Amino acid sequence: MKTSDLPFSVSFKLRTTSPYSFALTVHKPAGWSLLTPYEVFEDDTLWTAARFSSGEMHGLKITSSGKVNDASVICELFSQERPNTNETERLRQIVAWMLSAQENIRPFYALAERDSLVKALVHDLFGMRRTKRLDIFPQLILAVTLQMAPIERSDQMMTLLIEQYGEKVTFDGKEIMYWPSPEKIAKVSVTELKERCKLGYRAPFLKGIAEDVRMEFPTFRELEAMSAESAKARLMELKGIGDYSADIASPHPGFALDVWSARIFNLLLFGKEPKSPRALIPRLKKIAEKRWGEWRGYVFTYVLNDIPNLARRFKLNLEEL
DNA sequence: GCGTCCAGGTCTACC
DNA sequence: GGTAGACCTGGACGC
């Protein structure tokens, strides 16, 4: 595994719009990581890694000051070269965008006044934000490995991919492993991906995606600048990326329902388990769009991170799904 | 132990 | 355009 030491660092402070819960945003209750499964969260501080432009790796040490209604994020960014003033400002803006520090989520919270589910979610996870990432490839790996597999199996595939082909950065006394680059996966044979990462039929999909992404493919920010429909259509041009995976990888707020989450939403909305959850997915997506509009992505993220509380509050067996 | 079934999608061939 | 069947792997289940 390639290892990079990151001796230089710059620090900056980010102001946030209220409410902003740093801990809930960077360390989600359901266990989803901000940027890599190998990041470290201790004493309200996160050490993680990121691949920004040109494939360059950075280390991030992030913490916060203030309360949910008046929070600032304090970031120390580590790199191999000392960044100049312009580069520091560019990186500062990327981190602020990534952490949704300036996003106005008041309209989402306003939904709580007339929607009992949103009211419960806002109460339980006050100030939590959806986050973004600059490099699209890890998001596509996530989408592909989530297909047709229980979460333990998906974890196995993702862990093997990072351990076999990922990169490691060392900074501030920490070692953080990060996702492989598309350039790296494009060079690996399908047979090797199958054998070493247990990807099965997903191996040719992932190799093809890596080849496409490293050649000519929009960046995450370019996809964000497109309309939601155009971005999704572009993602679905990648072989192995269908409707569900495109919703996961797209920067636009989608409603990435799979069989498991369809069962959860059907229980939450109608109080019963669906007989055929897969067939119900298109209908549930339409309901979500009508009921929560552009905030349906937030509802999705909040629900998946609030299952124990929702199960207790609405007396549903959500945790057994 | 061993065989069978099937899962937190997608593609393709066939109608 | 709609839909059944195949696809890796590994855990659950029945015997």
Query: A170-197 pLDDT, tens per residue?
Result: 999 999 999 999 999 999 999 999 999 9
Q: What is the pLDDT of residues A82-139, one digit of tens each?
A: 999 999 999 999 999 999 999 999 999 999 999 999 999 999 999 999 999 999 999 9
The pTM of the full predicted model, rounded to 2 decimals, is: 0.96
* Rounded alpha-carbon distances, angstroms, from residue A240 to A160, A194, A231, A285, A286: 20, 15, 16, 21, 24
Rounded CA–C1' distance between A310 and C11, in angstroms: 28
Whole-angstrom Cα distance, residue A143 to residue A7? Answer: 33
Residue A119 beta carbon within 7 A of nucleic strand C = no
Residue A282 beta carbon within 7 A of nucleic strand C = no
* Amino acid at the residue A24: L
Q: What is the pLDDT of residues A224-272, one digit of tens each?
A: 999 999 999 999 999 999 999 999 999 998 899 999 999 999 999 999 8
pLDDT of residue A305: 95
Whole-angstrom Cα distance, residue A190 to residue A205? Answer: 9
Residue A152 beta carbon within 7 A of nucleic strand C = yes
- A150: the nucleotide nearest its CA (via C1') is B8
pLDDT of residue A74: 98
> Is the predicted pLDDT of residue A318 greater than 90, yes or no?
no
Q: What angle do CA A165, A138, A234 make, to 5 degrees?
A: 130
Q: What is the mean pLDDT of residues A44-65?
A: 94
Q: Domains of chain A, with CATH numbers?
A: 2-107 (3.30.310), 136-165+180-244 (1.10.340.30), 259-313 (no CATH)
- In A264-299, which positions are buried (b, 16+ CB within 10 angstroms) versus exposed (e)? bbbbbeeeeebeebeebbeebbebbeeebeebbbbb
The pairs formed by A182-187 with CB atoms below 8 angstroms and a separation of 24 or more are A182/A137, A182/A209, A182/A210, A182/A211, A182/A213, A182/A214, A183/A55, A183/A210, A183/A214, A184/A210, A185/A137, A185/A161, A185/A210, A186/A210, A186/A211, A186/A214
Residue of least CA–C1' distance to C10 = A153
> Is the predicted pLDDT of residue A280 greater than 80, yes or no?
yes
Question: How is residue A208 written in tokens?
Answer: 């093809």
Q: Is the peptide bond before A19 cis (omega within 30 degrees of 0)?
A: yes
Rounded CA–C1' distance between A201 and C7, in angstroms: 6
Give me the helices (H) in A125-258, please: 137-146, 151-165, 182-186, 190-197, 202-215, 220-225, 228-235, 243-249
Whole-angstrom Cα distance, residue A139 to residue A35? Answer: 10
Q: Rounded to 10 degrees, what is the CA torsion of A305, A47, A66, A122? A: -10
Secondary structure letter of residue A113 according to DSSP? G
Complete DSSP assignment for A41-62? EETTEEEEEEE-GGG-EEEEEE
